[in-house]
Structure 1
């Protein structure tokens, strides 16, 4: 088995994976890599904001960047556990069997597309996005301006597409990890993921 199979043939990958004991080293590395990418992105955003603040506020740029990076890093790990918990809970209602640890394992593999998404996000934020024309005095106007920015909208669309790719992987992962039908696995995944996508899209549609 190779990690490429997760992307190209998730059903076959997880079918083989279930023949072995739960192994958390690779899943942890995947999640940690995503956490690092998220931290880098947060640092870039914080630095860009601090660059256009008054000198007295910009003095805290390094502290803000570090805090943002740490927050994003921890947030990625927390989201892994939350996603796994939600999928586990819904699949339990639908008759799923199997351990939570196994769900943690397959959910981590499903995050592999987020690695590419994270790299794209860093490139976009570092090269194409600027806060220079934003009003930093009003947080609400700043958020509105960011939601209206074409670069941000394109970044969100790309993120949604990668999330759907992850959802496809998670469905097959749950089929094998929780011994579910494809239908019940799809319900377990697509209900929470669909709500997340609708919420994210609604913010930009309404902007």
Structure 2
């Protein structure tokens, strides 16, 4: 497993070139996504608990329900994102002449999420530190997002997130090359259309445009 992760991060082309020779398997992809889902759930827990601390005691039950919903939503959301990304890449690659099994594409797309683990862990640490300095009893919950975006450290995390996105895009393009039998050029275009839009959105949010 360690060698697999190292190879996918350093030389995704060679990794997928070998992987395409074997049968489709979802054990490793599922483990990757479960781990990312757990990290997302932890992040949601940190934020939700901070917001709950400012709630009146009579609303405690609603806070617990909100916490459970936030954790479940964050965890399940990771798997929904995986499927959505795969569908988008599959459809766009079809436009550029891609041919190949959807299951294989789903398998390979999971590996492209590995770099996000770095960003997730960093974000959990930063968010927990930021929330520990915010007096939730005096801050409007609606304005929390603005408070986070205004924090220099959080802005740095956004920049790191963009870099991580590009790292994932590099893995995804080689995943499409082999899963969908495409040229590197066409696979790059298919991947960078949605990723480019995502990066543009992050830049707009970061710059407050």
TM normalised by structure 1 equals 0.92
* Alignment match, 1:148: 150
* Alignment match, 2:163: 161
User: After the TM superposition, which segments of 4 or more aligned residues of structure 1 sit over 6 Å from their partners?
Assistant: none
> What do the CA deviations read for 1:48-72 (whole angstroms, capped 9, x no partner)?
1111333333553332221111000
List alignment gaps of at least 5 residues for structure 1. Answer: none
1:8 aligns to 2:10 (yes or no) = yes
Mapped contact 1:6–1:13 kept (Cα < 8 A)? yes
Number of equivalences:
206
Return the alpha-carbon distance in structure 2 between the equivalents of residues 113 and 46 of structure 1: 25
* Alignment match, 2:21: 19
1:181 aligns to 2:186 (yes or no) = no
Higher mean alpha-carbon deviation, 39-48 vs 129-138, is at 129-138
Cα distance, 1:138–1:117 mapped onto 2, change above 3 Å:
closer
* Alignment match, 2:65: 63
1:128 Cα deviation after fit: 3.8
1:91 Cα deviation after fit: 0.2
List alignment gaps of at least 5 residues for structure 2. Answer: none
Task: Tell me the secondary structure at the aligned position of residue 115 of structure 2.
Answer: helix
* Alignment match, 2:135: 132
* Alignment match, 2:173: 171
Matches within 5 A, 1:19-58: 19-58=21-60
Return the alpha-carbon distance in structure 1 between the equivalents of residues 112 and 38 of structure 2: 17
> What do the CA deviations read for 1:100-139 (whole angstroms, capped 9, x no partner)?
1111111101111111221111121223444326864462
* Alignment match, 1:206: 208
Cα distance, 1:134–1:168 mapped onto 2, change above 3 Å:
farther
TM normalised by structure 2 equals 0.91
Cα distance, 1:83–1:176 mapped onto 2, change above 3 Å:
same
Matches within 5 A, 1:99-138: 99-130=101-132, 131-132=134-135, 136-137=139-140
